Structure 1
Amino acid sequence: MFDYVHRQLQKDSERRGFPRRHLALAASTLIALGFSLLLLPGENAEAKRTAIPLNLDIQSSVAPAEPLQPLPEPEEIWDEVIVQSGDSLSSIFARAKLTPQDLHEVLSTAPKSVALNKVRPGQKVGFQISDSGKLHALSLELDKINSLVFERGVTGFETTEVSKTPDIRSRVASATITSSLYKAAEDAGVEDNIIMEMAGIFGGVIDFVYDVRKNDHFIVIYEEQYLQGEYIGSGQILAAQYFNQGRSYEAYRFINDEGFVDYFSETGESMRKAFLRAPLDFTRISSGFNPNRLHPVFKTVRPHNGIDYAAPRGTPVYAAGDGRVVESGYSKGNGNYIFVKHGESYVTKYLHLHKRAVSTGERVRQREVIGWVGSTGYATGPHLHYEFLVNGVHRNPATIVNKLPPPTRVSKTEMPAFQQQIGSLQLQLKTYAAQRNYSSGG
C-alpha cells in the first residue's frame, strides 16, 4: 500500500511541479501515519504488547563517554647489590642472573662504561631486568650524590649522569692547638679534608710546618651535606679564622662576576699568594737554608741552598705556585727531581722524590700534586729538598715569600657585593671568638 501511495504522489508531484524534497516530506508523513494506525490498541491489545519485544537503543540518547585515561607507568624497580671485596663485574652480573652478552653490550656500546671496570667495595650497583630476562638498565653509584645510569636504546646502551641535590647546612667548629693541628681538629670533630683545605687557604700567610704554635686557635665555618636527613659529607669552607703568634688571619669564600672562586681577607686581599710558604703539609724541617752546612753524606762543607722537609715516603708534594715544568727527570745526586718556572724571574726545585707526577713542558697550578716524598739520589732518608731561585740566584724559601709582589684583590666594582656577602660570616666569627675568649694575643 505504501508503495502505491508513494507512486501516486510522485506522479502528482511531477504533474504539478512539486520539488522532490516536498515529495519526500509528504511520503515520510504518510508512512509515519500508517505506522500509527497499525499500533492503535484493539481488542487483543494486551496480547500484542507482550508479543512485540521492546528493544530500545538507550545509548542513542546518552552523550558519548570520555575516552579512558591510560594507566600510569609502573614504578621503576631496581634490584640493587653492594660490591663486596673480591667482586668483579662478571661475578656481579652472574649474581644478578645476567649473561656475559649483557655485560659485553654495556661495556662495548655505553659511553663512560669504563667506570664499570673500576667498581670498588661498598659501591651500589642497580639492575632493571625485562620480563624476558634481558638487562634493560644498569645504575652505578659513584658517590652519595652522583650516579651513572646505562639504559638500553635502539642501537645500544645510552649513558645518563644523575645527580641528587643534597640539603646544605652550615657548621661552626673551633679548637685550641695543644699538640698538633691534626689532633686539635680531630678533638673538635672536624674532618681531615676540611682541616687540609683550611691549611691550603692560609698556606700563603702561615707555614703550617714551621709557624704553628701551642695555644694557637682556629674557627672554621663550613657546609655539611645531607640526603633525606642522613649526613653524607662536608662541603665548602665559607669562612675561617686562625690566631697565630699574636696575629689573626681571616679568610672568606667569594665568587666573582666571572664565576671564579677564591678566598680573600676581610679587606678583599687574596689569600692565595704567588707562592706557598711550604710545598707540603704538616711535616718538620730537618735542615734549613745554610750556605755553610756540613753535608750529611760527603762530610764536607757544602752550601745548602734550600730547605729539607722530613716527611714519610709518599707524602704529596705541591707546586708552590702556578708555572711550567722546565725539567722532570732523574740524576744520581738529585734522584727524581722537578724544576718549575714561574714567570720570567722565579724557579722552584723539588729533589729526592719517590715518584714524579708531571712531565717536562706541562703547566701546573699552585697546590697541584707534582710528586711524592722519597729518598732517591744522595739522601739519607725520606725528605723533600726544596729550593727557590730569583733570577738564577738561590734565596731562602722561608723568607723570600715576604718580599714578593702583593697578591690580587677584589675589584672595586665587586667590593660592595663582597662586603655584603661576608657580613654575616664576620659576625659569626667575632661572636664565636668572643665566646671562647680567643684573641690575637693567645
Structure 2
Amino acid sequence: MDRKRNKRVGNKYLILVVFGLICIGCKNDPKLEIEEVVEVIPEPDPITMFGFNIDDYVVKHDTIKSGDSFGEILERNNIGYPKIFHIAEKAKDTFDIRRLQVGKPYVLLCAKDSLETPEAFIYQPSKEKYVVINFKDSIHAFTGIKPITYVEKVATGVITSNISTTLDEKGLSPRLAYKMADEIYAWTIDFRRLQKGDRFKVIYTDKYIDDSIYIGVDNIKAAYFEHNKEPFYAFEFVVDSTKGIIDYFNEEAKNLRRAFLKAPVKFSRVSSRYNLKRRIAVYGFRVRPHKGTDFAAPIGTPIMATANGTVTESRRKGGNGKYVKIRHNATYETQYLHMSKRLVKVGQFVKQGDVIGKVGMTGNTGGPHVCYRFWKNGKQVDPFKQKLPEAKPISDSLKVKYLDFIQPIKTQLDNIDFLEDVFEDENQPEHRLKENTNPISYNQ
C-alpha cells in the first residue's frame, strides 16, 4: 500500500514539474504564450422602417377602410381631437389628410406605454411613396420614396396570336405590350393586325423596391420588331432634358411618332363626329353644327394631351363645362370639354400623353364623354381629315450625337438571339430573361 501511495504522490509531483516548465517556456518564448480568447458577439443592427427604429415602438399595420379619416384613426387610438386638429394644421403644407384613399396601407408607431399612444402616422399612397407625420415631440411631416433598384433585362418573342398573349405566356409584364403598342410603335405598326411569326426583341428596365418587391416596367431602352418580315428599330433618346421630353427614333434618326395622338382617351369609341350639318330632334331638327369629336368613356377616365404644348385655358364656362385648351404651336390648338376634373393650370407645359383631366358630364352633355376640338390656324376643323405632321425630327446638331449614342445599343440589340435559337430544351422555364448583373440602385 505504501508503495502505491508513494507512486501516486510521485506522479502528482511530476505533473507539477512539467506544468511549471511549460509556464517558464511560455515566458521565454512569446510564440508559446497562451492567450485567453473572448468571443465578442456583435449587437444586431437596429431594424428600421421609414427612418424609425421600430424596436422603440409598438408597430400597428392597417389599411384605410371605408369611412375612415385621419381624425377617426387617431381618435380610436387614444388621441384627442384638439391634438388631432393641431397635427392636421401643422402637416397640411406637406400632406392634405383628406386625401387618404380606401385600401391604401398605413402604419402607426405607438409608444410602449399602457395606452400605446401613437407618436407617428405613416401613409403609403403607392408602393414607392410614403408620407410621414411625426408628432412624438414636435409636429413635422415629410414625404419620401423607398430605395428603388433598376434592373436592365432583355426579352424576345414570336407572335402566335397577339402581343399580350405572347408576353403572358412568358410571364412578362403586360406593361411591355402597352409601351410597345401605344408609346413606341403606335404610328408605325398596327398591333391589331400582327401576323403569326412576327417577332420582337426588347431591352427594358424593371423596377424593384428593396431589391425584391417588383413594381413594374420603368422604360424601354430599345426595341426591334419584325412585322411582315420588315424590321422596325426603336431607340429611346432624350430630346430636351430641360422639359424632360423623351422620344423614340429609328436607326436613321427618324421619329416614330406623329405630332398628335389619334384620340385623347384610351379604349373609347367615337360617339359623335365633327359635323357642320348636324340636326337634332330636341331642337326641332334645326342645324346645330358639331365642331368637335365626342369620345364616349366612363366618368373618371384619364384625358390625355394629344401633343406637346402649353395650357392656355383651364376653367369652367357655360355649355363647355370644365375644360382645358392647349396651344401646340403657331398652327394648332386643341380643347377638351365636359371634364369632371381639371389637372393642369394655365401656363403649364404638357407632353403628349400627359393626363390633363378626367372624363365627366359638366356643361351641356347627355352622357359621360370628352368633346375633343381641334384648331388649325384659328379655325375649328375635323382632326380625322387633316394631314397631320410627323413629330419634330431630331435637330442636325443632335443627330450626330444620337447616332453615336445608339451605336453600342444597336449592337447589343442585334446580338440578342430569338428564343427559338437560344432555348432548344422544351423543359426550360417559361420565364426566360437575361438580366444585368450590375443593377443600379439609389434612394430617390
Q: TM-score, normalised by structure 1?
A: 0.61
Task: Indicate the residue corresponding to 1:309 in structure 2.
Answer: 295
User: SS of 1:348's equivalent?
Assistant: strand
Task: Indicate the residue corresponding to 1:252 in structure 2.
Answer: 235
Cα separation, 1, equivalents of 2:300 and 2:306: 18
Cα separation, 1, equivalents of 2:207 and 2:298: 33
1:264 maps to 2:245 = no
Task: Indicate the residue corresponding to 1:341 in structure 2.
Answer: 327
Task: Indicate the residue corresponding to 2:155 in structure 1.
Answer: 172
1:144 maps to 2:127 = yes
1:320 Cα deviation after fit: 1.7
The amino acid of 2:400's aligned partner reads K
Task: Indicate the residue corresponding to 1:225 in structure 2.
Answer: 207
Between stretches 418-427 and 185-194, larger displacement belongs to 185-194
Cα separation, 2, equivalents of 1:354 and 1:157: 34
Task: Indicate the residue corresponding to 2:36 in structure 1.
Answer: none
| Aligned 8 A contact 2:206 2:219 in 1 | no
Within the candidate set 111, 114, 121, 1:129 is matched to 111
Per-residue CA deviations over 1:260-300 (Å, capped at 9, x if unaligned) read 46132223344454322322212233455566666676546
Cα separation, 2, equivalents of 1:257 and 1:392: 28
The amino acid of 1:254's aligned partner reads F
The amino acid of 1:263's aligned partner reads D
Pair 122,171 (structure 1): closer, same or farther in 2 beyond 3 Å: farther
Cα separation, 1, equivalents of 2:193 and 2:334: 31
1:136 Cα deviation after fit: 5.6
Pair 401,201 (structure 1): closer, same or farther in 2 beyond 3 Å: farther
1:315 Cα deviation after fit: 2.6
Q: Mark the runs of 5 or more structure 2 residues left unpaired by the alignment.
A: 1-39, 47-52, 424-444
Within the candidate set 80, 87, 95, 2:60 is matched to 80
User: SS of 1:309's equivalent?
Assistant: strand
User: SS of 1:317's equivalent?
Assistant: strand
Q: Mark the runs of 5 or more structure 1 residues left unpaired by the alignment.
A: 1-68, 437-442
1:416 Cα deviation after fit: 1.0
Cα separation, 2, equivalents of 1:257 and 1:403: 20
Pair 195,102 (structure 1): closer, same or farther in 2 beyond 3 Å: farther
1:330 maps to 2:317 = yes
1:215 maps to 2:194 = yes
Within the candidate set 383, 392, 410, 2:378 is matched to 392
User: SS of 1:81's equivalent?
Assistant: strand
1:163 Cα deviation after fit: 2.5
| Aligned 8 A contact 1:337 1:356 in 2 | yes
Cα separation, 2, equivalents of 1:149 and 1:300: 60
| Aligned 8 A contact 1:313 1:354 in 2 | yes
Between stretches 338-347 and 104-113, larger displacement belongs to 104-113
User: SS of 1:281's equivalent?
Assistant: coil
1:127 Cα deviation after fit: 1.1
| Aligned 8 A contact 2:235 2:249 in 1 | yes
Per-residue CA deviations over 1:72-110 (Å, capped at 9, x if unaligned) read 698331413222514443454466566667756654555
Between stretches 102-111 and 141-150, larger displacement belongs to 102-111
Task: Indicate the residue corresponding to 2:405 in structure 1.
Answer: 417
1:125 Cα deviation after fit: 0.7
Pair 243,397 (structure 1): closer, same or farther in 2 beyond 3 Å: farther
The amino acid of 2:151's aligned partner reads I
Task: Indicate the residue corresponding to 2:259 in structure 1.
Answer: 274
Higher RCO structure, 1 or 2 (CA under 8 Å, sep 6+): 2
Task: Indicate the residue corresponding to 2:352 in structure 1.
Answer: 366
Pair 323,424 (structure 1): closer, same or farther in 2 beyond 3 Å: same
Cα separation, 2, equivalents of 1:434 and 1:397: 45
Task: Indicate the residue corresponding to 1:205 in structure 2.
Answer: 187
1:233 Cα deviation after fit: 1.4
1:366 Cα deviation after fit: 2.6
Per-residue CA deviations over 1:166-221 (Å, capped at 9, x if unaligned) read 36353637685968x878877776656555544552386269xxx65343668555
Cα separation, 1, equivalents of 2:421 and 2:369: 41
1:319 Cα deviation after fit: 1.8
1:123 Cα deviation after fit: 1.0
The amino acid of 2:312's aligned partner reads V
User: SS of 1:366's equivalent?
Assistant: coil
| Aligned 8 A contact 2:226 2:232 in 1 | yes
The amino acid of 1:89's aligned partner reads F
Cα separation, 2, equivalents of 1:433 and 1:378: 57
User: SS of 1:213's equivalent?
Assistant: helix
May I ask how many residue pairs the two structures share in their alignment?
A: 361
| Aligned 8 A contact 1:314 1:372 in 2 | yes
Between stretches 409-418 and 244-253, larger displacement belongs to 244-253
Within the candidate set 84, 89, 95, 1:114 is matched to 95
The amino acid of 1:213's aligned partner reads R
- Percent of aligned pairs sharing the same letter: 24
Pair 427,396 (structure 1): closer, same or farther in 2 beyond 3 Å: farther
Cα separation, 2, equivalents of 1:213 and 1:72: 60
Pair 127,249 (structure 1): closer, same or farther in 2 beyond 3 Å: same
Cα separation, 1, equivalents of 2:394 and 2:321: 36
